[in-house]
Amino acid sequence: MNWFTNHPPHFVRWMFSSLTIGLMGIAVSGSAAAAQSAPSNDSVTANWGKTQDPNRAEPFWGEHQGGIATKPQHFTYFAAFDLTTTKREDVISLLKAWTAAAARMTDGETAQPMEGGLKLAVIPAPPQGGDASEMPDPGPRAADTGEVLGMPPSRLTITFGFGAGLFSKDGKDRFGLAAQRPEVLVDMPNFGAIDQMAPEHTGGDLVIQACAEDPQVAFHAIRQLARIAEGVAAIHWVQTGYRPIAGDRHLLGFSAEEKVPGMNAPSGEAIWVGKDGPEWMRGGSYIVVRRIRFAVEHWDQMPQAYQESAIGAMKHPHMEADQAQTTEKPSTDNAATDDSVPAHLAIVSPGRDSMLRRSYSYNDGVNFISERWPPWRQGLEYDAGMFFVCFQRDPRTGFIAVFRQMANRDFKLNQFWTHVGGGLFAVPRGAKQGEYIGQRLFESH
Ligand code: HEM
């Protein structure tokens, strides 16, 4: 028995973080205390002004899931899973195990208690007609892979979502939930040329958004949840994202400061499902994610005046003087400098209060390309852009309405970006201590 197995995991992770922090001379208490002092995430505005102190733990239990009205952390790891089981009880067991592990990790603990090893959500059954005793013994596996031991909670939030495939797939009511599919969980329309959704980056029966102030903490969370899901669900696609540590600009070079919709309406009317939705969704929301690839190389060849007229904003005040020599100052009212094509901001502003944007930049290295059209070229192209994330109570009047306008009118930008993946998912209400995420859906009939 080693030192770790002798000590409760929470103590282990807490002890390391306290020690580190103590050495840094910063006075903090343990993660449990931090969780207690953290405000409830009941209102949209409550957390927005909070600091991004990695020693803080965000609350897990509550009416709403974390990671929505939570001030955005600097890193995200988003994972979409396919259910590989055919049994409703397995899905329930998985959600119970995921809820328990997510609550622990949010609080800065290991995914499961270190003693006793890994507990899968569902004990694998022997192959049909087989004998359990003939199953290969995988041996004891560690309850947690350990890469965040000693690290603080890092404001981790874990947000679960349900895709259309949970309700039915290929016309089959797999888990007896087809009748519970919310009306607003629509099949996403295709928006034309800028919409080239690749199956390997699209959809999923269950999704998890892990956000944290440390990329390793976010990845750790997904890694543990995927381990627990063995035999029940498998990862279909993932996407990482980041926000600059200082500043708020995304890769086109413009400020990306999200506004909180309904700043004056702390009830979060635009985000939380109310009485108009199914009972199990009340207090929940709908998430739309889009992997939007920028043609960075082409964008970088454009004059700054064009870029500013395309977005409808100045890049930086110090550029204003240079800008004035070449063009009029763009504004959201009259964004186009060279023609009458409106700017992004002019197009999307009317829809600003219909969604809460919580997007990240992504940078997945380079792809090799070979083009046969003039000017024939081979070379490397960045695979980078925006992992657009938004929450709303009704995606038909939120993302879909706004994006339809963009697809039809945002011509100055549409030639530089392509939507290559993502999806729409129902994010059920939060869980109270003792409940599991999605419980009311499974108990609703
Ligand atoms: C490549 C992806 C995109 C880029 C580079 C981009 C860029 C920007 C920028 C620079 C702003 C102003 C700063 C801010 O408030 O964040 C903005 C605002 C906004 N964008 Fe986008 N955007 C993108 C995609 C989208 C998509 C897909 C939607 C929705 C379908 C959208 C909806 C909005 C809305 C609603 C606002 C707020 C406008 C306001 O406050 O008046 N954007 N975007």
33-61 tens-digit pLDDT: 333 333 344 455 556 555 678 999 999 99
Atom number, ligand 1, closest to the C-alpha of residue 349 = 41
pLDDT at 335 over 50: no
Residue nearest to atom 27 of ligand 1 (CA): 403
Q: What mean pLDDT do residues 232-239 have? A: 98
* pLDDT value of position 341: 85
Around 362, how many Cα atoms within 13 Å sit in the side-chain half-sphere? Answer: 27
Residue nearest to atom 3 of ligand 1 (CA): 386
* pLDDT value of position 138: 59
User: What are the respective helix, strand and coil percentages of the chain, to the nearest 5?
Assistant: 30, 20, 50
pLDDT at 10 over 80: no
User: pTM for the whole thing?
Assistant: 0.85
247 versus 321: the higher-pLDDT residue is 247
Q: What are phi and psi of 331, to 5 degrees?
A: -145, 170
Query: What are the CA-CA distances from residue 273 to residues 29, 60, 194, 279, 378 (Å)?
Result: 35, 19, 30, 9, 49
Q: Which mutation among 194, 257, 315, 345 tests ligand 1's pocket best, with the greatest number of atoms within 8 A of CB?
A: 345
Pocket of ligand 1 (CB under 6 A): 250, 252, 254-259, 290, 292, 311, 344-345, 348-349, 351-352, 386, 388, 399, 402-403, 406, 417
405-441 tens-digit pLDDT: 999 988 899 999 999 999 999 999 999 999 999 999 9
106-134 tens-digit pLDDT: 999 999 999 889 999 998 877 676 666 66
* pLDDT value of position 410: 86
Average pLDDT of the residues of the chain: 83
Residue nearest to atom 20 of ligand 1 (CA): 348
Does the domain formed by 7-38+73-121+138-163+203-242 have CATH 3.30.70.2470?
A: no
Atom number, ligand 1, closest to the C-alpha of residue 399 = 30
pLDDT at 102 over 90: yes
* pLDDT value of position 124: 80
145-184 tens-digit pLDDT: 999 999 999 999 999 999 999 999 999 999 999 999 999 9
Distance 402 CA to ligand 1 centre (A): 10
The Cα–Cα gap between 286 and 184 comes to 9
* pLDDT value of position 33: 34
Q: What mean pLDDT do residues 184-198 have? A: 94
426 contacts 278 by C-beta, under 8 angstroms: no
| pLDDT band, residue 32 (cuts 50/70/90) | very low
261-285 tens-digit pLDDT: 544 334 578 899 999 999 999 999 9
305 contacts 318 by C-beta, under 8 angstroms: no
* pLDDT value of position 444: 80
Atom number, ligand 1, closest to the C-alpha of residue 290 = 27
* pLDDT value of position 25: 33
Helix (DSSP H) and strand (DSSP E) numbers for the chain: 13, 9
Sequence spans of domains, the chain: 7-38+73-121+138-163+203-242, 173-198+247-432
Atom number, ligand 1, closest to the C-alpha of residue 352 = 35
pLDDT at 98 over 80: yes
Distance 77 CA to ligand 1 centre (A): 21
Distance 388 CA to ligand 1 centre (A): 9
